[in-house]
């Protein structure tokens, strides 16, 4: 998303615990923020790779930013 600044937000949807991902934010139906909080926790069973693959497949037309 670095090449696409968000100058105007006319729609935002925040979805907690979408498929076990802590927070999924959909901005203007074209950009995603995927947030996984690992404070006091560790990754297990390739969790972050699975989450990224899931989002990439489900939201292939949106630009995505992963914050892990």
Which tens digit of pLDDT belongs to each residue from 35-59? 998 887 777 788 889 999 999 999 9
Give the start-to-end residue ranges of the domains of the chain.
Answer: 12-67
- Say what the pTM is: 0.80
Band (pLDDT 50/70/90 cuts) for residue 4 is low
d(CA 29, CA 59): 10
Residue 43: name the closest of 21, 17, 24 by CA.
21
Torsion 14-17-19-20 (CA) sign: positive
Band (pLDDT 50/70/90 cuts) for residue 5 is low
Question: SS3 of 6, please?
Answer: coil
Beta-carbon contacts of 8 under 8 Å, excluding residues fewer than 6 positions away, are 28
What was the pLDDT predicted at 13?
97
């Amino acid at each position: 998303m670095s090449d696409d600044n968000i100058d105007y937000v006319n729609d935002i949807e925040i979805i907690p615990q979408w498929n076990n991902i802590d927070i999924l934010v959909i901005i203007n139906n074209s950009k995603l923020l995927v947030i996984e909080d690992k404070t006091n926790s560790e990754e297990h069973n390739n969790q972050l790779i699975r989450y990224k693959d899931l989002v990439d497949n489900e939201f292939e037309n949106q630009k995505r930013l992963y914050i892990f």
